Structure 1
């Protein structure tokens, strides 16, 4: 199988590196293109045999499955660029949440799927959210599922639930890291503790907590009950957190959904608007 990656920015590079690191693909099976040649050269130096394509059309022509890893508002022009070169048996996979499967199926004569990956795939962990278009058969779905299984836990979801699910799977690592950073900052400021030592403790705690929740058969409320003895220090601190964080997560979800809706509105305009001339190569 030949796999293309259009866009080797943050998440495109994560997918590429993870596919190679966890032996889902060999470098010679990967075809990549990006607006900045320097990024491609760095990746090719790191992975001998990686195929650098001169443009996105070449990536499409050389690949069976193509992961499109560009920003939402770049999609419409990209579609116009590649639409005459896609083949009906190809699978194009968007990794961009607000770009809808219908946007792509109405524009491209091929099979369409959407995934929401996570930075945690760098270590072969985390969930990848998967949404299938109408043209995929079971074999197509299995191919994508198997590929993602090397680097993540694929979870099929409804596209209507993509935003809230990606708040946890994709944005979540940043949210949790922000919480830990603020906690560590306070500890260092108030107690003079070593930042390195506290960061190590926090990281190991987070790893162990994750294992309890995923492998230990424990739910988040049960975990709190296990640690928070009535009248104890943890219970007192949880009470303070409950008071201080009242409404925070409702506002967090409102913020991510508002941004998603804004992007979706812009994309609807772009995909319904005047067609962009296809560049000549």
Structure 2
């Protein structure tokens, strides 16, 4: 099977490198392209057998499984250019949440799916979100799950929870990275600890927290209970969080959903003919 990747921006590159490092596909079986070829060439420097093409149409001809990793408003143009070269036995995947599988099926003659990856997949961990088109062949459903299983825990989701699931899985690392940076900055500002030491401690704490959860030693509530001894220092910190966080996370989800609606409105007209 030959895999094609269209778009080598942040998530496109992460997907390419994860699939290759995770042995989901060999570099000689992958063909990539990007509007600015210098980005694709930079990836090829680390994977010499990787094939680069200037033409989206070439990927349509050669690849069996094609990932479209471009901005939402550019997906329609990519599908239009691919369509003449797609046969029923191929499969096309979009990795952007505003483009639904129904929209892809309305313009493409092959199996389609949506796969929303996460930056955590670069470390061959985390979750990838899968939604299949109604006419997606069963063999492709199995193949996609197998491919993504090399770099993540694939999880099939319903269309109506796409945004919130993506907020948690795909946007979540950025949100918690920001919170951790603020945590570190406050420690440096309020105490004598230096930035480098605080960053090392916070980073290792997050890694350890993840391993505790991964290995099932604790759930999030039981972990808090173990650390938060009655009348202790941690409890005083928890009180501050309870008083100050308020509805911050509710507002976060409201904001992402409003932006999502804007993105949906932009692409909706492209698929209404």
In 1, the alpha carbon distance for the partners of 2:260 and 2:43 equals: 31
The aligned counterpart of 1:276 is none
3-state secondary structure, aligned to 1:54:
coil
String of CA shifts for 1:112-165, please: whole Å, max 9, x gaps. Answer: 000110011111111001111112233211111111111111111111111111
CA separation in 2, counterparts of 1:155 and 1:58?
Answer: 31
Q: Provide the residue aligned with 2:54 in structure 1.
A: 54
Aligned-pair CA distance for 1:60: 1.3
Q: Which residue of 2 aligns with 1:121?
A: 121
Unaligned runs of 5+ in 1: 274-281
What's the CA shift for 1:42?
Answer: 1.4
Report if aligned partners of 2:95, 2:114 keep a CA contact under 8 Å in 1: yes
How far 1:241 sits from its partner (Å)? 0.4
Partner Cα separation in structure 2 for residue 218 and residue 71 of structure 1: 39
* Normalised TM-score (structure 2): 0.97
The within-5 A match list for 1:1-281 is 1-272=1-272
CA contact (8 A) 2:92 2:111 kept: yes
1:171 counterpart SS class? helix
**CA separation in 2, counterparts of 1:64 and 1:107?**
18
Matched residue, 1:277: none
TM-score under structure 1 normalisation? 0.94
Shift of residue 217 of structure 1? 4.5
| SS across alignment from 1:179 | helix
Residue 192 of structure 1: how far off its partner (Å): 2.8
1:175 and 1:104 mapped to 2: Cα distance? 30
Matches of 2:245 and 2:189, distance apart in 1 = 21
Report the alpha carbon displacement of residue 44 of structure 1 after superposing the two structures with TM.
1.6
Could you say what secondary structure the match of 1:59 adopts? helix
Cα distance per residue 1:83-122 (max 9 Å; x no partner) = 2221111110110001011111001111000011001111
The change in CA–CA distance for 1:161 and 1:80 in structure 2 (over 3 A counts) is same
Offset of 1:207 from its aligned partner? 1.1
Where structure 2 has 5 or more consecutive residues not aligned to the other structure, the ranges are none
